Amino acid sequence: MNTIAVIGAGYVGLVTGVGLAHKGNRVIMVEIDPDKRHMLLQGKVPFYEPGLDTLLVQGIEQGLLVFENSVKDGLRHNPDMIFSCVGTPSLPSGDANLSYVWSVAQEIGAQVISSILVINKSTVPVGTTRSIKRIINNAIHARGLSFTCPVASNPEFLKEGDALSDFLRPDRVVIGVESDAVRQKMCDLYKPFITSLDSIVSMNLESAELTKYAANAMLATRISFMNQMAILADLVGADIDHVKAGIAKDPRIGPHFLHAGVGYGGSCFPKDVKALIAMGKDYHFPMTLMQEVDNINHFQRIWFVNQLFSYYGLALEDKTIGIWGLSFKPETDDIRCAPSLDIIDELIQRGARIVAYDPVAMPNVIQKYGSSINFAKSAHDVLMQSDSLVVLTEWAEFRSAPIENFLLLRDKTVFDGRNCFDPLHMKSLGLTYFCVGRNNNEKYADMSELTQHHESVSCSTI
């Protein structure tokens, strides 16, 4: 059993701590916010992440999860290693705010009494982990002590809504190390989580830091690429879902992150794309592709909301617009950089009334908007109160809703920002339906029937 201190009980820190405890490690969670600490000790998770609360309670009851309010108190448990999992939010410049990272490093250096492996798990610009090492060891030497602390980089690759599974069964573990001894210690730690040591990718500190940014930037690029292609598809009379099917069969491309919509959001993609742009400026190397990815993502929201403005014109001021979905994606209550917020702001500015519903994210949106918008008790209630509907998050309960229910809308009009429904089916019911990159489907009715026929034929007969 390892004793591991995890500093910061936010999204990454709590998933890390709970996951490590689930595999039998004794974990000391350091969280300075007393309200959050009290909530966690009661077994309550301050954000929505399926399954996390169950393992949190389990870890506490087994005595494998202990909570402390300072680095000093955490170090009293004599941990074998320390994970730093504090936030690195974006500054107005796009640079990562590293104030929490530096504070933790200084505190470790001021309090540690023996050599302990320090592992940075926060998403940080290239070169930060090496600076963390310097800050810690300079503080140790300033106290007249002769030992040093090795430092490793271990970026997280957690998907909100599926983070626990990602941590417990990772597709890869990236570690940045400076010695074989540290590499071996990290491999031993992660052996219970992986099926093969090939899943552990070892590299230097800088490479590990850049890998995290490169992964998120690649996924954001795929999303922005498809969103730009979707607008072109509407202009030329194509169907973006057919295009997606055509290119996804290429093994060099694959099917993932090719879904057109209103753009990416959340705490990672927007922040990391901007951080890469800022890093490029620091090194006098313009990250022009990343800048365009960011531009496209912003434009996609403007393009979508303009569909409403074009359809309603000045009459929008007399309309109640229903919103299905407020979180930036399903299975999370995270509204950071969510497309819903930009679109709601634009609709309010144009004088529209808003009635919104989300299965889990409404409390966070209420904090932001208060009484400026109305909130419904259910997805069905939104339809009962609205002239038209805007779909902004593809929750399963929305995708499975009987489309006949949309006839309850006074204007019988749906603006689908996540392509949840079939355009031909929607229009066959007399609904006006706007989506992303699939607005010319009536031209392909015969082809759609042909495709359905082929899909019903066994491959063995072809």
Which of the residues are catalytic? 268
CB 389 within 8 A of CB 352: no
Six token digits for residue 458 = 């066994």
Strand order in the sheet with 388-391: 374-375, 353-357, 320-324, 388-391, 413-416, 432-434
Could you tell me the sign of the dihedral formed by the alpha carbons of 114, 119, 124, 127, in that order? positive
Cβ atoms within 10 A of the Cβ of 89, count?
12
CA atoms within 13 A on the CB side of 108: 34
End-to-end CA distance of the chain: 57
- For residue 169, the one-letter residue type is R
What is the Cα–Cα distance from 67 to 439, expressed in whole angstroms? 53
Residues found in the chain:
462
Cα gap 399→420, rounded to integer Å: 6
**Across the strands, what pairs with 29?**
6, 67
The owner of tokens 């590299």 is 203
- Show the tokens assigned to 426: 């929607």
Contacts of 71 (CB under 8 A, 6+ apart): 5, 7, 30, 104, 107, 108, 111
What residues contact 205, with CB distance under 8 A and at least 6 apart?
Answer: 129, 130, 151, 152, 153, 176, 177, 178
**Which residue type is seen at 313?**
G
Place of tokens 């679109």: 343
**31: exposed, middle or buried (Cβ count in 10 Å: 0-12, 13-18, 19+):** buried
Buried residues in 218-255 as b, exposed as e (16+ CB within 10 A) = ebbbbbbbbbbbbbebbeeebbbbbbbeeeeeeeeeee
